[in-house]
Chains A and B, each alone.
Chain A
Amino acid sequence: TQLLEQSPQFLSIQEGENLTVYCNSSSVFSSLQWYRQEPGEGPVLLVTVVTGGEVKKLKRLTFQFGDARKDSSLHITAAQPGDTGLYLCKGAQKLVFGQGTRLTINP
């Protein structure tokens, strides 16, 4: 079983601050995905990263895939309350998610 470990599990910061959350595994992935889930809804796909070392930007969100394709990070710049949610990573060929990082942005 390829386990995905996400850290931190919980993060609460003030609006305007920057943050980084991590997704790590001992296994190599051909690609990796990030999802965000808001209360009462299903997860929504944010991005798929495919190439080792790849960086993708989605407005204030920056996603990076590790060179060895075993880890990924999500960096949010100038966090806003609308960024609040559960952030989940998944190895793209797999159907198993990490436990998630629950992010709260306080106004």
Chain B
Amino acid sequence: KAGVTQTPRYLIKTRGQQVTLSCSPISGHRSVSWYQQTPGQGLQFLFEYFSETQRNKGNFPGRFSGRQFSNSRSEMNVSTLELGDSALYLCASSAGLAGFPYEQYFGPGTRLTVT
């Protein structure tokens, strides 16, 4: 079974630009979660999508948004980039079924650098 894939792996953008990151979950998984990881803040939860609907949301500004498609693939978008948005963005795939532990399977991440 193929793992979680994220594209691109590395990205350099300039302040004020916007960026779109993509995630393809494990086949059959309906939940996709996004995390931002920085050395200072650790792994911070952005949002979770399940069957094309946002099911949970972290405490990030509205510049961060996402969506999920009918094939469970997900994208996240960051608009008006700031220097502080430089981070590793991780996508996690899960069956996401209620009543079962959220065993999440992570992709390798997208390293975003904002200059």
Contacts and interface: CB of A to CB of B under 8 A. Distances in A.
Interface residues of B, number: 21
Q: Is the interface of A mostly helix, strand, loop or mixed?
A: loop
Contact of A41 (B58, B101, B105, B108): B108
20 contacts: A30-B101, A33-B102, A33-B103, A41-B106, A42-B90, A42-B107, A45-B103, A45-B104, A48-B101, A88-B43, A92-B103, A93-B102, A94-B102, A95-B33, A95-B102, A96-B45, A97-B35, A98-B42, A100-B42, A100-B43
Interface in A78-107: 88, 90, 92-100
A-B residue pairs, 9 tightest by C-beta? A42-B106, A92-B101, A99-B42, A97-B43, A31-B101, A95-B45, A48-B101, A43-B106, A42-B90
B25 interface: no
Interface residues of A, number: 22
A33 B42 contact: no
Nearest to A48: B101
A50 interface: yes
A42 B42 contact: no
B64 to A, nearest CB: 15
Contacts of B106: 41-44
B114 interface: no
B109 interface: yes
Interface in B83-108: 90-92, 101-108
B105 A95 contact: no
A43 B108 CA distance: 8
Contacts of B92: 42
Most A CB atoms within 10 A — which of B35, B102, B105, B107?
B102
B56 A95 contact: yes
Interface in B23-47: 33, 35, 42-43, 45
